[in-house]
Structure 1
Amino acid sequence: MFSYFKKHVFGRLALLFGVAAFILVVLTYYVLNWAVQDKDTIFDIHDLYYHYKFIDSWGDLSDTITIREELDNLKLSAKIYYIQSQNFCEENQNMSYSEEQKLVYWQNINELVSICDYINYQDSHNLKKLYGVNFPGHVSFGDIEINNQIYPATVIEKDAWRVLLIIDYIYPSEWITFLPIMLLTIIFMVVLYLIVRRFLKPISLMQTRIVALEGGDLDSSIDIIGEDELALLSKNFNSLILEIKTLLKQKERLLSDVSHEIRTPLSKMRLLLAMKPDKNKIKTMDAQIDYLDSMVTNILISDKLSAPYSTLDLEKIDIINLVKQAQDLSKHDHVKVDIKNPFVVCCDVVKMSIVIKNILDNALKYAPSDAGVTILASKKQDIITISCIDSGPGISEKLISKIDKPFVRGENLKKSGFGLGLSICKKILNSHGGNFIISNNKDKGACFSIEWNQRSILKQEKNAKKQFK
């Protein structure tokens, strides 16, 4: 999860806005409480005073009819005790409810309510000192629990009377009270995040374009949104890709022209050699011409496959025909094809033929034997595997891990070549999303295996075409 936020700027922005929303809600809660605290306490002393005067207006509490009418009108419940002790509940902790009821002078409450369940949080004794408001008696605000519900309550002490007033009101949760502010804050942050994401959309488009560029797409461009710095960056990015495309075309044309200029005199030399009577010289010169021609071909192929912009021309072909095309390209004439159940494969036929051809030529050059090369092929679900097994001396352990790199050659340096054949195989397999596996056989010789997932490359090709439509 943390790796997602590390790799995605929009994920970090969402996390940032989420944390900001949380901090804003918490700060708003505490700031509002702090802002109204002083106002609440000054209002509390007034309320305490008016509660006392309200009870004081009842006189000696003998007119219970009037008391009931006033309480019913104000939707209040009351329980009047005759208690002289200031610490009644502390002194009578083991008193039963029935014994406590003997101290009740009058009540209009039907539930079982005990004054000892009352807990105060604000009283006149503290506030009188704070604000200098004086009145006889003692009044406190608090809560009382009745049937597992908390109700606001007030206790007024006047002479030997202690009056418990209960408001028929259940406190809502603080979070429910604060929920609208939370929702508005979250909605505001979500809208702000979407706006910022909209402003930064060119960054996402550039990232997508870079991925397409790595896949070989040099034709698409980034949509220009707005006229700000990101829009200018998108324009410059499009111009840069156009320049890269132009440079690559120029390089390809230069290599094509150079190879043409080299091959033209080679063709003339071959024609002239064919007219000479000395067959031994003709054979030697013809081999050198083949070597030069093969070198030019490998340099051109290696250059094209080195760029990440090379594309595949995918088509379906029977595995036997694919191997036959590779054999026609190769000079190795001692090849045994052992494919008992032929099947159809999907690949870039020309490039995959070059892979098999290079493996056969490599075996001819470095692993000549009477047994030749055996070609095996299998298909497991959508994974195609083609193996070329020779009977040569094998490959040394220190060379086997790097033999598919450019300009790395076998230990027999007397053989002509530049060490590009197997590196070309590796690049072609990479473009197919496949693997090039080189290993030694148990007895003797080496095994060169190529494998790729044909469904995977079809899916990649389809996605690449859809990405910038």
Structure 2
Amino acid sequence: MTIKRYLLIVILSSIVLATFSAALQGFKASNQKLNFVFDGEMRSIAFTLKNSPIAPSDFDVDTHSSFAFQIWKADKLIVKSKNAPSQKIANSTEEFGYRSFLGNHWRYFSLLDEHSHVIVAQPMPQRIESIEEVLLEAVLPIVIVIPIIGLIVYSAVNKALSPIRTLSESVMQKDASDLTPINIEANTTDLEPIQNTINGLLERLNAAFEREKSLASNAAHELRTPISVLKLNAHNLKIAFEAESIKEQNIDDLTANTERMAHVIEQVIALNRTTPENFDAKKTQFNISNLLQEVIASNFSKIDSQGQSVSLNATSMSIFADKFSLETLFDNLIKNAIKYSGIGAEILISATRNRDNITISVEDSGPGIHEDQLDKVMQRFYRVKHHEQTGSGLGLSIVSHIVALHKGNVTLGRSSLGGLRVDIVLPHLDIGNIDAG
């Protein structure tokens, strides 16, 4: 059953039920009120007859009404109406009562004293007919108006449900490839959250599909070269094996290219893992200075092998963020500094905080990046030309992606040490300093 049909059935049924309930209550009230009026009328007639100088008569009186009366004196009927029987209507001393005679059921009023007995009666069918006429006059306009009310209710419900019907039709018309937002012109306050929720879902679904396509594209694009190189290394190693002239260089080349492919795979997976859907739920409060120390420690063997020096200038400070993604971010920045700054270079990492933000800077004394390439290095798979070191071109792209998830910003520039400087600005929720370590 549709919402419109359900609402129409419920509303119209309620109106009809309320109308007939009101009619029933009106009938009861009218019955009580009119009986009271008729009883008062019979009482008035009885007292009028009692106090009137009516002489005995052998002729019945035509009252030209439905009321019947009898006047008795000393148990002798002295006068009566044409519609009254010759027998006494009421023998009891009760004022009001019911009696059947002349084929009708009557209500009577008995006025008895020492000298006379006056009885006035009225047929009950007349009373009921009068009550029905009053009720019909009251209810008939309502009954006539019910169809008009039905048309008004139908029009109102139809108009009120029009945005929902439009929304339903818009959703039903979409196929699996159509993830464009839904726009309902005749929107309402109640329907707007539903439209926003559906559009948000479509946006997230579209973003998820784009990420999946991007992941496949990234993997295919980046793994093609190392796989080709690995095939070449394997071919050279096979030739050297057959010639019994395997050299250490053959093994080193194979190892280096295997590590390069493993690094590319890790970077692609890291980029895919840091998505809006799994990001907010993983935010925690932690010490960012401790995290920087851990990332430096995990890369210290590479720093030492390059004869480089690294220093950390940061006080204990807390941040509410996703620890895994920030660890990936800092690891990329520090690895880039180690790889591209050169042997014996100096690497400086600092973290400062103001009222709203935390700024993390990673700078080195290497050759840096030319100004006309600073904007391009944030793009996926872009590599600085004329650079001795090879890479996946994903490191700074991942950094930019993670910073955007944290609603921060990243800037590249020239370091005071002579090389590249990367500044990461992140908003934070400060709950006070926490102990380091």
TM (norm. structure 2) is 0.43
Give the structure-1-normalised TM-score.
0.40
